[in-house]
């Protein structure tokens, strides 16, 4: 194997690892976001965990968090929660950053 082939393989492995970490971080972010929103909705611990799992599943529809926002919107409206789209975006950004740190710490 040439030096170039070795570097190419190393790059491919690093890319695959980064993609796996991002997938885990997105799932963790959705869980954290779901638990936060469940608390705002007044759900019990068991219902909150289930709700967070539903949000993780909803996030698998498309890249990014637009699918999550569409999923939670009816719940926010139903409960008459005063949560703006800007606050949702801010929380998702905050939880995604936290999730990345948590995942890297666990992996390291």
Write out pLDDT tens, residues 51-90.
Answer: 999 999 999 988 899 999 999 999 999 999 999 999 999 9
Rounded Cα distance between 64 and 80, Å, is 25
Residue 9 has pLDDT above 90, yes or no: no
Contacts of 39 (CB under 8 A, 6+ apart): 48
pLDDT of residue 45: 96
pTM for this one? Answer: 0.84
Six token digits for residue 37 = 């929103």
Answer for the pair 72, 55: CB distance below 8 angstroms, yes or no. yes
Q: Which residue's entry shows tokens 């999923």?
A: 71
């Amino acid at each position: 194997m040439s030096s170039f082939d070795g570097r190419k393989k190393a790059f491919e492995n690093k890319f695959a690892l980064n993609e796996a970490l991002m997938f885990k971080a997105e799932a963790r972010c959705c869980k954290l976001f779901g638990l936060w929103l469940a608390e705002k909705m007044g759900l019990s611990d068991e219902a909150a965990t289930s709700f967070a799992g539903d949000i993780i599943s909803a996030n698998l529809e498309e890249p990014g968090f637009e699918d999550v926002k569409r999923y939670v919107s009816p719940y926010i409206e139903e409960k008459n929660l005063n949560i703006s789209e800007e606050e949702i975006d801010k929380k998702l950004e905050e939880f995604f950053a936290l999730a990345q740190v948590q995942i890297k710490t666990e992996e390291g």
